[in-house]
Chains A and B, each alone.
Chain A
Amino acid sequence: GAVVSQHPSRVICKSGTSVKIECRSLDFQATTMFWYRQFPKKSLMLMATSNEGSKATYEQGVEKDKFLINHASLTLSTLTVTSAHPEDSSFYICSASPLTSGGADEQYFGPGTRLTVT
């Protein structure tokens, strides 16, 4: 089946530093990848939609300069949290939509990355 990996699974960083999270589709090509943020016991909130070779589309209220997204290939998207602060601590989940998905209804989720900013 379609597998999506995320790296790292957990990261602790100091306030003011930047953190990069990778999302990879392991056995399929993904035209579109999505980045979500989830607070404890809350729902997933879409942050941005990432299309290979083009700029990401950010949801309202999400700072594009804060959360840098790069989708350099059909199997890799990265989310960089720049100048991280404790309020950026959260669970970040990516999903990938296969190239062959005509209606793009299929999204396969990565296992998530738990970011803690101290």
Chain B
Amino acid sequence: AQKITQTQPGMFVQEKEAVTLDCTYDTSDPSYGLFWYKQPSSGEMIFLIYQGSYDQQNATEGRYSLNFQKARKSANLVISASQLGDSAMYFCAMSSLQNHKLVFGAGTILRVKS
């Protein structure tokens, strides 16, 4: 069974600073994908970044980067130069290429302070 753990229920960050949102995972599948989604108060799920388990390099998408440490089974999200609009709930998720289902973590609420 797959499991995603996000240990930070809530985080604060000062505007323009960087913040790291933690995510650890557990799976017995040899091939899997890791995702981060942002969910603002409107409820929509916004895809941020993806990391494949066999990708050699850490994924980056603009101000988002994924710190993938396979041996530690962690996939932390780093947001650089935080903006007020980054305030939202953030979910880490993983999928197995065997069943294609997404398993989500509990989420982290991020608040950016001005």
Q: Which residues of A contact B (CB under 8 A)?
A: 32, 34, 41-46, 49, 91, 93, 95, 97, 103-105, 107-109, 111-112, 114
Contacts and interface: CB of A to CB of B under 8 A. Distances in A.
A54 to B, nearest CB: 15
Interface string B79-114: 000000000010100010100111111110100000
A104 B100 CA distance: 6
A105 B91 contact: no
B45 interface: yes
Interface residues of B, number: 22
B51 to A, nearest CB: 11
A43 B104 contact: yes
Contacts of A41: 89, 107, 109
Where chain A touches its partner, the secondary structure class is strand
A42 B104 CA distance: 10
A35 to B, nearest CB: 12
Interface of B: 33, 37, 42-45, 47, 50, 52, 89, 91, 95, 97, 100-107, 109
Contact of B33 (A32, A42, A93, A105): A105
Contact of A105 (B37, B44, B50): B50
- The 8 A-B pairs at the shortest CB distance, nearest first, are namely A109-B45, A104-B100, A112-B43, A105-B33, A43-B104, A111-B44, A44-B104, A103-B97
A46 B102 contact: yes
8 contacts: A41-B109, A44-B45, A105-B33, A105-B95, A108-B47, A109-B44, A111-B43, A114-B43
A43 B91 contact: yes
Contacts of B91: 43-44
B104 A107 contact: no
B105 A112 contact: no
Contact of A49 (B44, B101, B109): B101
Contacts of A111: 42-44
Contact of A93 (B45, B47, B89, B103): B45
B11 to A, nearest CB: 15
